[in-house]
Structure 1
């Protein structure tokens, strides 16, 4: 097994680049070592993409800075107090962190000393599958026996789960997020029990940290089962301040084969928490969402409401014109999920509308105020009212009235 694992790591594209090998060469001097740790190793062994690469080293931060600069690389002291230097090599940023040992822990305010002991460094990490290291040649280093858990997709805390969580209560959400992204089978009972016992610690976390972790969880493949368990344990309500429509969310994820949007956090939050508009605004504020995220959620919720108000399905063009293409698509998927959860969805009709929403052109009102002014209409509020009436007539016609038709109608109305 070890030879096979080493071969997989040695053949990883990210480890074979000149950029990362230059970082190793710069750091590994005078007896210092460097190893890739965590996500890059885990993802490679599980066949997942590797978006970033973290490196652990025995070299002190100031030494990393000096050696990287001397090698012609660009070091940036992104977290020197915590031992972290970002080294840019080959146009790619590598986060290089000196081995650490927690001496005392006060929530996230751990007093940390730098060290040279790889086991102690591993022991301060969160989950066993994240405490895997590899050297520059692809040789695995597994100080805590996390390889078996990784390959079995078991998410287990390192050491005492309660203590790991007390060091940083965000690890409660990370337990569910990592499971949703990489897990298989039942959740680890010891870890789940610790999350339940320590759940009040979530109340001490900042909104930004909770929101960031929840959005990552919502994108993950097993978000449905993870959120179901969170809800059963009372964690969803603590994290979000509200209730969850878990059945609707589970139904939404069954549409992933025809709609990639179902993994977007904005749509997931609308389905989970959008009972009424106030719920939506609360979760936007609680998670400190961006204006773009808020705007998408509001459009989705308004379109979903429109579907609920009608017994038949609206025309695609009308939906796109009122809510925009994205809002119309999100609204349809949110409503469809709710109907599926209640066994009331006419899937063929919804799928047909979904296709038309993707393909139909955006209707553009063909008339402008200048067109009416050119024919003698006076500028002013009355002109604006006239345009609104003409636009309503154009919409009622199914967007079929031409510019000439509207000009004739304007003459008849003047």
Structure 2
């Protein structure tokens, strides 16, 4: 029986126009990889890659002749980005290895779909589908996909030596799509090749780890990575596996538990220097680093929020995002029980509270007789504390009256 898939993305006129341009004169084109895999798994498709027997220059010629835009984004590797009705498709010529020497293998363009599949990492990523939805499965990927088994194509050790990032991808794909235990041959090869992770660039490690910590089965997958010595290499330090696992116990409480910055802060954040190390190790953005630092600082200060004002004060002093992230980290450090009403209430309040602006300024204090100098700062701190303790409801006049009574006792 011929396997077929049906999907809106496959029937889209923009994609069919690309097929029209490529499939003339005996040439072929098929969608491949993530779009096919995700459709079969019933998860969203985010991008669509196409393989073709056309050489790169012919891809450019044909698509331009069809009125489409061709951008040679990786033409030396056989890849052209084709834009059709504002949708971008990566079109890559079939390839086969001539000589393998790590990530930079010598390849040539070809016409053999089986050899092209043999260059890919996992069987579930070597599924092709033609414009009519007919599936082509040269390496047994469909059976593995149905079993949710992440399996290397061919010899796992050889695939890993071609690119050591495949170790992280092996664990990330299992955390995202896998079920049951990891493939034994793949796991053995990952353990044997783990030192190769030290050669990878920060950007590539960061891209994979962001996805891994957000994946559905991240807790058990990262726990295994820690047990076999891989996670310590990736993090360049010790992992807080228990805290991370507790954080993900709270998935039903908040989507923020799956935010990469929050997950990485829970996994590796003991002190600010840890955040700096992780940020450098994974080339995280300034925004991600700032979010991790904010979460860590709030978690260190939050403890167990003892009343509704403590949650409000966290929002006022640190902002809503840091307050929510920090409460989740503090909750995880204290076991991560999603039934804990104390933390649930604090989190709900942190999400809903809109912190007002403190209504007193330094010039206001000078106006009621406070002398210039350190006394202004002291009074500002005292009044801010009184304002917070009064549930942020005291007005400027009410606060300044407290100062006036103290500074000008004759005015009582």
Same fold (TM over 0.5): yes
For 1:141-180, what per-residue CA distance to the aligned partner results, in whole angstroms no more than 9, with x for missing partners? 1111211001111100000000000000000000000111
1:1-400 equivalences in 2 (<5 Å): 2-3=1-2, 5-6=3-4, 9=5, 11-308=6-303, 312=306, 315-340=310-335, 347-369=340-362, 371=364, 386-400=379-393
Distance 1:335 1:377, change over 3 A: closer
Task: Give the Å deviation of 1:409.
Answer: 3.2
More displaced, 319-328 or 387-396? 387-396
Is the CA contact 2:150–2:170 (under 8 Å) kept in the aligned structure 1? yes
Instruction: Give the aligned partner of residue 396 of structure 2.
Output: 403
Q: Deviations over 1:200-257 (max 9, x none)?
A: 0000001111011100111111111111111111000001111112122122111111
Give yes or no for contact 1:317–1:363 (8 Å, CA) kept in 2: no
C-alpha deviation, 1:408, in angstroms = 2.0
Contact 2:305/2:342 (<8 A) preserved: no
Matched residues in 1 for 2:378 and 2:18: separation? 66
TM-score of the two chains, using structure 1 as the length reference: 0.92
> Which whole-Å CA distance do the structure 2 matches of 1:119 and 1:110 have between them?
18
How far apart, CA to CA, are the structure 1 residues paired with 2:374 and 2:63? Answer: 66
The range that moved more, 299-308 or 116-125, is: 299-308
Where does structure 2 lack aligned partners over 5 or more consecutive residues? Answer: 408-412
Structure 2 length-normalised TM: 0.93
- Say if 2:225 and 2:231, in contact at 8 Å, map to a contact too: yes
2:295–2:322 contact (8 Å) kept in structure 1: yes
Q: Does the 8 Å contact 1:318/1:398 carry over to 2?
A: no
Superposed displacement of residue 358, structure 1:
1.4
Q: For the residues of structure 2 that align with 1:146 and 1:296, how far apart are their CA atoms?
A: 39
Distance 1:149 1:394, change over 3 A: same
How big is the shift at 1:276? 2.5
Secondary structure of 2:335's aligned partner: helix
How far apart in 1 are the matches of 2:73 and 2:371? 61
- Post-superposition CA distance 1:107-145 (Å, at most 9, x none): 211111111110000000000010000000000011112
CA distance in 2, matches of 1:123, 1:413: 82
SS in 2 for 1:315: helix
Q: Secondary structure at the match of 1:340?
A: coil
Contact 1:12 1:44 in 2 (8 A): yes
Compared with structure 1, are the counterparts of its residues 311 and 22 closer, same or farther at alpha carbon in structure 2 (3 Å cutoff)?
closer
Question: For 1:168 and 1:180, how far apart are their aligned partners in 2?
Answer: 20
Structure 2 CA distance for aligned equivalents of residues 270 and 69 of structure 1:
47
Q: CA RMSD in A?
A: 2.1
* Structure 1 range deviating more: 189-198 or 299-308: 299-308
Q: Secondary structure at the match of 1:159?
A: coil
Post-superposition shift, 1:411? 3.3
Stretches of structure 1 that go unaligned for 5 or more consecutive residues are none
- Structure 1 residues 390 and 198: alpha-carbon distance in aligned structure 2, compared to 1, 3 A threshold: same
Query: When the two structures are aligned, how many residues end up with a matched partner?
Result: 406
Bigger Cα displacement from structure 2, 39-48 vs 399-408: 399-408
Question: Following TM superposition, by how much is the alpha carbon of 1:368 offset from its aligned partner in structure 2, in angstroms?
Answer: 3.6
**What SS is found at the alignment partner of 2:54?**
coil
